[in-house]
Each structure stands twice: as C-alpha cells, then as structure tokens.
C-alpha cells in the first residue's frame, strides 16, 4: 500500500475493495502515514488491527516521531503536518492548532498526548523489507551504486535518485538503447512510494526498469493504491478529496 497521508477513508476503501484479510494477508505499507489529511490517528488505529503488518518509515513519519522524542518538529508542522496536529488534538479535546511565537511554531499538542501504542508504531517502523522472492520494499529508494544495506538512514526514506534514474532508463529503452539498468545489490522487483505519480499527470501506479511506484497522490488530491505484489493487480480509492 502506498502513501496514506492521514487518508483513513481512502485506506478503508482500498482494504475493502481488495478483500484484504486482516488475519491472514500480509500488508506492506510503504510509509508516510502521517501528514496530509487529518485522520492520522484513525489510520494508525486501523493498521494496528492487522495481524501481519510491515510498516515502513516515511520521511513524514520520521518528522512526527522526532517530535514525539524531542517536542520539536523539524519541519515546523508544514507539508501537511498541521493535519497531523489536528488529528491528535481532536483525540484529546484540544482545539489550538499552530501559532507562531518568538521561538518558532508552537501547538497545544505535547509528545505525551500521543498514545503509547502509536509511539511504538512509529518507533518500530522498518527502513525497508525484503521478501522471500528478493523483492525490496522501501519508502523512497536508495543509492543504487552502493551496497543496499548500510546506507545512510535518510536514503531509504528520502532518496529519489533511484526512481528518477529508472525513468531516464525507460526513455532510453523506448529510444532503442539496450543498456542494462545496474543496481549494485540486485533485487527481483522494487516497490516504492514517496514520489507522487501526480507529477507525471497520472493517479495510477507507474513502472520503470524493475521499480513500481505506488504513491499515486493520496496526499496530493489523487488516489491511494494497494497492489498484490505477485500479480500486480491493484485496487484504488476514489480521488481522495471526493470521499465523504
């Protein structure tokens, strides 16, 4: 499943439309549960009911977790962060959102307001997951010219170069070149989020080289996508801003 960004109703649509079994199926969620829409709390609560869940760390999740650890949000609750604040303030009955002060941006939300189960959820997110078929699942990507394991942690939830170079490779193949897309650590297939396909005017999954991009704009007015990794069959939510 691609980037949820607080879109609880879209997430429920994907799970229902794919007939996902909460007890027997494995869900690999590609990160960025936080920020975007104001039902982050509900999203985490739902994911915690899934027996076989692999939750990956997205950059927005890392920002939120840093707040839980330090009381400081490194991006000052921007880029959808205000919706995350709203979600948890609603839970505890507080209404004050974000105010500018001499020390930066303050909110009524304190790290201690985040339920312990949710703190553990974000603490335990994985940087990546490699399955028994040597498929790699990672939020953003990695440096394909370095060994996969042991890279800077930020690479896994920030690095877009893998996807962008795969798109360039796809253009070269379409132009008649037959060079190989080299990755130092080979994988069967790679599944990513992080870089919304809305940038290429589509809310459908995109494929280049051996990489599938499942961030179909759930945080940007597009759709949320869930894909069956073996068959590539996928199901989507309605356009997220149209869901009532």
Distance CA 84, CA 74 (A): 14
What pTM was estimated for this model as a whole?
0.95
What pLDDT was estimated at residue 176?
73
Taking the CA atoms of 148, 204, 22 and 84 in sequence, report the sign of the dihedral they define: positive
Is the pLDDT at 98 greater than 70? The verdict is no
Q: Is the pLDDT of residue 102 over 60?
A: no
Q: What is the pLDDT of residue 173?
A: 84
Residue with tokens 């890392």: 62
Give the other-Cβ count within 10 Å of 40's Cβ.
30
pLDDT tops 70 at residue 45:
yes
pLDDT, residue 239, reads: 97
Higher-confidence residue of 41 and 179: namely 41
Give the percent of the chain with pLDDT over 70: 95
Task: Look up the CATH architecture of domain 8-58+113-242.
Answer: 4-Layer Sandwich (3.60)
What is the percent of the chain with per-residue pLDDT over 90, rounded to a whole number? 87
CA angle 201, 4, 19 (to 5 degrees): 100
Residue 71 reports pLDDT greater than 80: yes
What pLDDT score was predicted for residue 100?
63
- Sketch the domain layout of the chain as residue ranges: 8-58+113-242
The pLDDT confidence band at residue 106, using thresholds 50, 70 and 90, is confident
pLDDT for res 101: 59
> Which residues have C-beta within 8 Å of that of residue 121, sequence separation ≥ 6?
44, 47, 48, 55
Q: Kindly indicate the confidence band of residue 103, based on its pLDDT and cuts at 50, 70 and 90.
A: low
pLDDT on residue 231: 97
Q: Quick one: average pLDDT of 165-187?
A: 89
pLDDT tens-digit readout, 51-64:
999 999 999 999 99
- Mean pLDDT over residues 146-159, rounded? 97
């Amino acid at each position: 499943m691609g980037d949820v960004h607080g879109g609880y109703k879209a997430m429920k649509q994907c799970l229902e439309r794919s007939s996902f079994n909460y007890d027997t199926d494995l869900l690999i969620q590609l990160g960025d549960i936080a920020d975007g829409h104001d039902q982050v709390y509900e999203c985490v609560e739902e994911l915690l009911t899934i027996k076989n869940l692999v939750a990956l760390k997205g950059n927005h999740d890392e920002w939120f977790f840093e707040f839980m650890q330090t009381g400081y949000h490194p991006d000052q609750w921007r880029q959808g962060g205000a919706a995350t604040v709203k979600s948890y303030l609603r839970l505890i009955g507080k209404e004050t959102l974000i105010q500018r002060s001499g020390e930066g941006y303050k909110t009524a939300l304190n790290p201690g307001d985040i339920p312990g189960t949710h703190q553990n959820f974000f603490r335990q997110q994985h940087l990546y997951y490699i399955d028994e078929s040597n498929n790699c699942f990672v939020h953003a990507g990695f440096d394909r010219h370095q060994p996969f394991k042991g890279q800077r942690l930020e690479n896994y939830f920030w690095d877009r170069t893998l996807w962008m170079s795969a798109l360039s490779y796809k253009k070269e193949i379409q132009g008649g070149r037959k060079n190989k897309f080299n990755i130092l650590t080979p994988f069967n297939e790679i599944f990513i989020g992080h870089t919304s396909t809305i940038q290429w005017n589509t809310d459908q999954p995109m494929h280049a080289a051996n990489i599938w991009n499942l961030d179909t704009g759930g945080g940007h007015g597009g759709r949320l996508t869930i894909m069956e990794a073996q068959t590539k069959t996928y199901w989507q939510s309605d356009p997220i801003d149209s869901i009532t």
